[in-house]
Structures are given as C-alpha cells and as structure tokens.
A and B are shown apart, each in its own frame.
Chain A
C-alpha cells in the first residue's frame, strides 16, 4: 500500500466531514439540554430528549409500526421475488426480457402517479388505514429491486447444479426449493436488507394512506413533530437518532453486501 499523499488525505477529510458531519451534529443536538440551544455550546450533555421522545410521546408505537410494515414487505418481496428470480435466471421461457424491463419500468414510476387510484382501491377493500394495506404498494415498488438483485445472484450459481438436480429427478420447482434456494441465502440476505431499508424509509404512501395517529410509521411521526408541538429540535434530533441508528448499524455491518446489491443490476452485462 502506497503512503497516501496530502491531497488524498485532504479529500478524505473533506468527504468525511460532509457526509458524517451533519449526522454527528444531529447526535450532539439530541444530547443538548433543552433551553440551551441558543448557546454556542452545551454546558453538559443529557438524555432528557430521549426520555421524553421514548416515554412522553407515542413514538415507540411508530417504531413498532415501522418494524411491522418493513418486515411484512421484506417477507412478501422475498416470497414473491425468489421464485421469479430463479425462473428468470435459470429457466427458458418467452417474455423473460419483457418481465425484467417491466420491473425496471415500474421502479421508475413516480409513486405520486399511483396515489389516487391506490387510495380509492385500498379504501374500497378496507385496507387503507392499515399496516398490511401499506405493505402491498411497498412490495410492488421494492419488487423490481428484489428481482434485479436476486436474478443476478441466481445467475452466478452454476447451471450444472440445476441440471444435476433435474437429472436426479427433481422438478424445476424442486430443484429451486431444495438445491438453489439454500445456496442463494447470501443473496436473500442482501435483498432483505435493501428492501427493509426501503420500506423503513418510505414516506409518501404512509403519509397519504394512514389516518389514525397510532398507526403512523417513523417517517410520518417525525415529519409531524413540529406541527403538533412547537419545533422541539432536541426531541426531533433524539427521534431521528432512534430512527436512524438501527439502519446505520445495519449498513456499517453489511456494507459489502449492500454495495454489491445496489450495483448488481447496474453493472451486469
């Protein structure tokens, strides 16, 4: 490894400051004593903001709601996506290219274009103000990502595995379930992380479809903090840290997987 030059070091520091600085400032704000925000520096650090966010507000419900929606979406996506991705990668059938292009097309849909009909449909079937109802559009919009990542994963598994399973008497589905699916576990994990993060972060549908305050997800709860109370910056910061920390930990732990998953669709062929 070559010793980095001064230019490299400066660039690293600049990028680190830009990308991490605002987040660290938010962490500091969350520990800043209430009433001292006008000062240039806090006199001491306190956990009071966390206490009032977690126990003085229904914020923990929002965390729970988000967990439910994100988990449901992840399960739906993997269930529907894994078999399709296997077929796309290993089986010959007409319309393969069409399906992948359609998935890519859907991933580029502006969500707003589907808000009005989805609102009416979910309302009609009684799923509008519900977490399950919310997981349905989430599944659709995370499915393209699921298909791209998993298809590229199944493609990397040798064709011989599939053929050998078939020779041994497995049906195509049996070969998928008994042989290829277990081997695709790392791909499933990568996809699960990406889908979970997508669902945890989604805002427009959650804001539009959920009307009961107790059903709000984390992004909606955080966006509505100010309109209900008067700009409690310290509490907002504490809630932000609570909402973000799991994702940051997940991301740092699985950064290799996330990077390979994010670029899987993009660099193939």
Chain B
C-alpha cells in the first residue's frame, strides 16, 4: 500500500517523536549515573572546594568500612523481610478482591489509601502510633512502654511494618491482575473432576500465578532496596545506626558531611547492588518463562 519512501518517512518521524523522551532519559538519568561513577574516583569535599583524582581509593576504603557493610546488611534484611511479608499478605488480599461480595468496591478503594499517602506522611503517622508514651500501639498493648523507634532490634522492624502497610496494596493489585488472567474454565473443569478448593489453589492458581508473583517480587525488591523516605523520617538511621540503609548512609555522607567523593562511591555501590539484584531476578524470571 505505502511505498518505500513513505516507510522511510515514517521511520524518520518515529525517531523525531521519541527523541525528547530519549534525551530526557539520557541527560537526567544516564549521564548522572556515569557522572557519579566519575565523581566516586575523586576526593571531593564540597565546602573546601577540594577536588582531586584518587582512582579507586574510595572503593578501597569502602571495602574496609564496617559502616558500609552494616548498612548493606540492614538494607538486605529490610528488603527480604518486607517483600516476604508483603507477598504473604498480598496473596490472600488479592484472592479476596477477586471474589464477588458486597463491599468489594469499598475494600479496593480503602486498600489504595495507604498507597496514595506520601511516604513521609505515612512514616509520620506511624511514628505517632509508635510513640512510647501515648502511641496507639502501646495503648493497645495495655499500656506497654516499648520504645519501638528507640530500641535497636525494634526500630528496623517498625520501619518494615511501615513499608508493608504502604506497599502491600500495590503488590495485591499486581497479584490480582495475574489472578484475573487465569481462565475460569480451568476451575470449572477441576470442579467437574471433583478437585477440592485447596487442590484447585495448588494445581491451578499457584503455578499460573507464578509469573505475576515473580514480577511483583522483582518490582518490590528493587524498590525496597533503595528505601530512604520512611527510615529518614522515622529514625534517620538510628538508634546506633541499626536502621541505617545504603541510601541513608550515602545521603548523610553527601549532604551532611559534604563528602561528594566517598558519597558518590556509596551511591554507585547502591546502584551496583540494585543492578546485580535485577540481573539475578530477570535470569530467574526468564527461566520460569522458558519453562512454560
């Protein structure tokens, strides 16, 4: 129908149409990451205006920096526990939302409320609930005086709870979308064959839901790994750095100490961890897809 000239023109216009988007992504995302790598090879203290190339010195220091390893450990723990709990809550929630019952619309709308609330606000809201003297949680525990945000061992778990509250809805929506992709006929056939509800869940729902679950885990773990807002507002990394994650440590080094060299090295290390995590997950996801 259309000649070769028209096709070439279409391609040309296509490039013009995507050009602004490509530029924005390249200039404000790709370039800064490369620039951060370059900065991380310098000793660079902002207030002194001191800047000189030091090669891998920052990274050598990083490997021996106990605070870095502790932040990495906290971040990994936060991510693993938060994502696991979110999945364990999201699957039943999605199964519930997938059924027809009076009030389903209300439940779905309410579930979106924590998702829509700014993370800073939800952290504030929970900080008040966690208040050792007048907080709702200690009140409900019959006047307990647990210092949720001030005691090591409690604080990181309190932060995990805030994350679970805020992001379980999103995970549930992804799972729900996966559930709605499962053909109803499969369940009908299973019922005709006399399969119990539990057996239907094990034999149909779980295997067919696996791609959606893996995708949710991929999205959420990469997101949880860069956690900043909630922890910054709840504890700023305290007590005794027990809630300090990689993003918090990098932020403090950059903006509090003004050390742009080492701060950039920490940022790059965070970036590399996320890339590594993404590669591992995508490999796994690819293998699962290949198996089907």
Chain B interface size range: 35 or more
Query: Can you identify 15 A-B contacts, CB atoms within 8 angstroms?
Result: A8-B101, A22-B114, A23-B117, A25-B125, A112-B250, A112-B251, A113-B267, A113-B270, A115-B254, A116-B35, A116-B267, A140-B29, A166-B2, A255-B105, A258-B112
> A137 with B28: in contact, given A22-B126, A117-B36, A218-B118 (CB under 8 Å)?
yes
CB-based contact B251/A88 at 8 Å: no
B96 partner, pick from A11, A115, A200, beta carbons under 8 A: A11
CB-based contact B107/A117 at 8 Å: no
Cα of A251 to Cα of B113 in the assembled complex, Å: 7
CB-based contact A112/B228 at 8 Å: yes
| A61 on interface, CB distance cutoff 8 Å | no
Number of A-B contacts (CB under 8 A): 284
CB-based contact A92/B29 at 8 Å: no
B170 partner, pick from A84, A93, A197, A262, beta carbons under 8 A: A262
User: Which residues of chain A are near B114, meaning CB under 8 Å?
Assistant: 19, 22-23
CB proximity of A54 to chain B, nearest CB, Å? 16
CB-based contact B270/A240 at 8 Å: no
> A255 with B108: in contact, given A114-B32, A116-B254, A204-B251 (CB under 8 Å)?
yes
CB-based contact B100/A84 at 8 Å: no
| B192 on interface, CB distance cutoff 8 Å | no
User: Which residues of chain A are near B109, meaning CB under 8 Å?
Assistant: 251-252, 255
CB-based contact B124/A222 at 8 Å: yes
CB-based contact A91/B268 at 8 Å: no
| B237 on interface, CB distance cutoff 8 Å | no
User: Which residues of chain A are near B11, meaning CB under 8 Å?
Assistant: 91-94
B120 partner, pick from A141, A223, A233, beta carbons under 8 A: A223
Cα of A56 to Cα of B99 in the assembled complex, Å: 48
Binding site for B on A (CB under 8 A): 1-2, 4, 8, 11-12, 15-16, 18-20, 22-23, 25-26, 29, 37-38, 40, 79-81, 83-84, 86-88, 91-94, 99, 102-103, 106, 108-121, 136-137, 139-141, 143, 147, 163, 166-167, 171-173, 176, 197, 200-201, 203-204, 207-208, 218-220, 222-223, 225, 233, 236-237, 240, 243-244, 247-248, 250-252, 255, 258-259, 262-263, 266-267
B242-287 residues with Cβ-Cβ distance < 8 A to A are 246-247, 250-251, 254-255, 260, 263-264, 267-268, 270-271, 274, 278
Main secondary structure of the interface of A (DSSP, over half): helix
Chain A residue at minimum C-beta to C-beta distance from B264:
A116
CB-based contact B36/A114 at 8 Å: yes
User: Which residues of chain A are near B107, meaning CB under 8 Å?
Assistant: 12, 15-16
Please list the 10 inter-chain residue pairs (A to B) with the smallest Cβ-Cβ separation, ordered nearest first.
A117-B35, A110-B226, A84-B21, A140-B28, A114-B32, A113-B271, A219-B120, A201-B118, A93-B14, A87-B17
| B153 on interface, CB distance cutoff 8 Å | no
Cα of A1 to Cα of B113 in the assembled complex, Å: 26
Chain B residue at minimum C-beta to C-beta distance from A258:
B112
CB proximity of B80 to chain A, nearest CB, Å? 17
Chain B residue at minimum C-beta to C-beta distance from A255:
B109
CB proximity of A103 to chain B, nearest CB, Å? 7
> A19 with B110: in contact, given A92-B14, A118-B28, A208-B255 (CB under 8 Å)?
yes
Query: A91-B14, A113-B268, A121-B35 given. 6 additional CB < 8 A pairs?
Result: A80-B21, A110-B271, A117-B264, A203-B119, A251-B112, A267-B181
CB proximity of A75 to chain B, nearest CB, Å? 13
